[in-house]
Amino acid sequence: MKAFLILEDGHVFTGTAIGADKEIISEIVFNTSMTGYLEVLTDPSYAGQAVVMTYPLIGNYGICYEDMESKRPWPDGYIVRELSRMPSNFRSQGTIQEFLEKNEIPGICGIDTRALTQLLREKGTMNGMITRREDFDLEEILPKLKAYSPTGVVMATTCKEREVLPGDGYKVALLDLGAKKNIGDSLHKRGCEVNIYPADTKAEDILAANPDGIMLSNGPGDPKECTEIIKEIKKLYDSNVPIFAICLGHQLMALANGLDTHKMKYGHRGGNHPVKDLKTGRVYITSQNHGYVVDTDKLDPKVAVPAFVNVNDGTNEGLSYTGKNIFTVQYHPEACPGPQDSAYLFDRFLDMMAAGKNK
């Protein structure tokens, strides 16, 4: 069956329908990862977006539910060049086609994803529609595409109540802003007791539990939409508890301290982004998934200093807060998918908590 991807600039791509028989409007973004499509599909940061995979063959090793980064997939739609319908992998528990159908995610395959990605790079991220209707009316659809904006996605993806990963080590409060599973797992496997809190939890409730450290997770959407969460993060900043923040958490901590953020032309999404540690000069290959970035042009060194920078475009990739046991990164040290070069940051967080307890 035919399917169509219609972009807000009027471009129409014709391909074959995959996944659920459902029409959606979403923000169209691309991911350059060569593997890890299930982890991409189950990353809550994709809530409100439809994902284009630039790697041409997707689904060749099937679906292994153990590898999911959350309990369900989050993208509105899925766009690929070729979808493998006969996976070969001893761990496979089904096909990606079955997975998309089961979770009511529509998609399209058989289109030129290279041309689509080039278009998104040249014009920037655009909204689009995936539909199976051959009688679509562009004059009717295009205003709807331009009007679309994902909202409320943090509260849609966060946990609904406090969850605990038991451990005998440091007690960590993880604020779930749309957290990937491997963030909590990375702390848990280091012996931490991880208390996972919903995104709207009050700072007083988190601090009342006397955590040794606080983790702010990744998550979806425009950070400036999270006005109430930002107020609570400022209270966490004002405490003396060590804090480590990733991705959206990094952006919200910046906004809580008077910095600004802006939407990037097409964002960073993939497992091959080089990031330079400004203290050591070492470059790490990182996993990333974000469409917004912190502005550092007017950064007051009394508040924070840049700690990491993107080698490709010079955008900020992390901050170290002056006089505070707080550091934040834009990229994903927990990986999944992607390289694990930056996993040492979790050990650095443990060192910060150890120093805090020895005071």
| 143 and 221 inside one domain | no
Give residue 18's identity as a one-letter amino acid code: I
**Tens of pLDDT, residues 160-172:** 999 999 999 999 9
Task: For residue 292, say whether it is annotated as part of any ligand binding site.
Answer: yes
Domain that holds residue 231: 154-357
Q: Which of residues 150, 175, 208 is at a domain's end?
A: 150
pLDDT of residue 37: 97
- Whether the pLDDT of residue 299 is over 70: the answer is yes
- Whether the pLDDT of residue 338 is over 70: the answer is yes
| 114 and 170 inside one domain | no
**Gyration radius of the chain over CA positions:** 20
Confidence at 258, pLDDT banded by 50, 70, 90: very high
Residues 241-253 have a mean pLDDT of 98
Give residue 141's identity as a one-letter amino acid code: I
Supply the CATH number for residue 6's domain.
3.50.30.20
Supply the CATH number for residue 168's domain.
3.40.50.880
Cβ-contact 51, 79 below 8 angstroms:
yes
Length of the chain, in residues: 359
Task: For residue 248, say whether it is annotated as part of any ligand binding site.
Answer: yes
Catalogue the active-site residues: 247, 332, 334
Cβ-contact 275, 309 below 8 angstroms:
yes
| 185 and 145 inside one domain | no
Task: For residue 251, say whether it is annotated as part of any ligand binding site.
Answer: yes
pLDDT of residue 85: 86
Q: Is residue 73 packed enough to be buried (19+ CB in 10 Å), middle (13-18) or exposed (0-12)?
A: buried
Task: For residue 217, say whether it is annotated as part of any ligand binding site.
Answer: no
pLDDT of residue 210: 97
| 141 and 172 inside one domain | no
Task: For residue 221, say whether it is annotated as part of any ligand binding site.
Answer: yes
Q: What percent of the chain has pLDDT over 70?
A: 99
What is the DSSP annotation of 146-168?
A: HH----SHHHHHS-SS-EEE--S
Q: Which of residues 150, 185, 218 is at a domain's end?
A: 150
pLDDT of residue 357: 74
User: Counting runs of H as helices and runs of E as strands, what totals does the chain give?
Assistant: 10, 19
Alpha carbon separation from 28 to 124, 144, 165 (Å, rounded):
10, 14, 35
pLDDT of residue 359: 62
Task: For residue 5, say whether it is annotated as part of any ligand binding site.
Answer: no
The strand pairing partners of 165, in sequence order, are: 194
- Whether the pLDDT of residue 98 is over 70: the answer is yes
Half-sphere exposure of residue 255, counting CA atoms within 13 Å on the CB side? 22
